[in-house]
Amino acid sequence: MNHRHFGLEPGERLVEYGTIQTPWQLRNAANEVKSCIAPKTWAFHGETLMPTEFKFSPDSEAAQSIEVPIDFLGELRGYLEAHGLTNLLGISTYPDNEIDPRTVFELTVGRVSMIVPNNRFPDETVVHVGWFFDESGAKVARDCLKCSWHT
């Protein structure tokens, strides 16, 4: 689900490293840093699928962009458009860490989002914002603590 917790300044990218996401000013960053950053979440803007969140991987090979089949993207966009969901849903990579997404949620404090254990907040304060699909159907992949910035 496309959502944001805070605004970004021009030239900033929301970059995840481990379980923390923070804005990074990449305009003057060294090429060695830029080569370790790859998109992890995309949203449709008009006809174009644009990256909205990124991940940092110290191993630049692991940070290579992911190729998504163009036929799949066309079918997905058509489905989302037909159901009025283009501005609401996008796509994301599945987290490459060992954390069970059912036991954590995303919490934002200021301009920092972090993944924390989900054992202190009642269910009504948490919203599902990511899913993955397998042969048995949809499963929750990411929860978020509801905040005033959920748009």
Domain total of the chain: 1
SS3 labels along the chain? CCCCCCCCCCCEEEEEECCEEEEEECCCCCHHHHCCEEEEEEEEECCEEEEEEEEECCCCCCCCCCCCCHHHHHHHHHHHHHCCCCCCCCEECCCCCCCCHHHEEEEEECCEEEEEECCCCCHHHEEEEEEEEECCEEEEEEEEECCCCCC
Supply 90's token pair.
């996008």
Q: Is residue 82, in this structure, part of any structural domain at all? A: yes
Q: 26 or 145: which carries more pLDDT confidence?
A: 26
Top pLDDT among 62 and 82 is at 82
pLDDT 10s digits, 34-73:
888 989 888 888 888 899 999 998 876 666 667 778 898 8
How distant, in Å, are the alpha carbons of 36, 45, 97, 141 from that of 100?
25, 31, 9, 8
For 122, the domain range is: 12-145
Q: Note whether residue 124 is domain-resident.
A: yes
pLDDT at 141: 64
Q: Which of 20-24, 83-87, 95-99 has the highest mean pLDDT?
A: 20-24
Instruction: With beta carbons less than 8 A apart as the criterion, state whether 119 and 107 touch.
Output: no
**Better pLDDT: 141 or 57:** 57
44 within some domain: yes
Higher pLDDT, 22 or 130: 22
Does 35 map to a domain?
A: yes
Q: pLDDT tier at 151 (50, 70, 90 boundaries)?
A: very low
Residue 150 has pLDDT above 60, yes or no: no
Asked, for residue 106, whether it belongs to a domain, the answer is yes
Is there a domain that residue 5 lies in? no
Give Cβ neighbours of residue 76 (< 8 Å, ≥ 6 apart).
Answer: 91
In a domain, 6, yes or no: no
Is the pTM value of this prediction over 0.85?
A: no
How confident is the model at residue 137, as a pLDDT?
Answer: 74
- CA angle, 95 then 108 then 132, to 5°: 25
pLDDT at 136 over 60: yes
| Rounded Cα distance, 56 and 5, in Å | 19
Averaged confidence pLDDT in the chain: 79
Q: Return the number of other C-beta atoms located less than 10 Å from residue 54's C-beta.
A: 19
Residue 1: inside a domain, yes or no? no
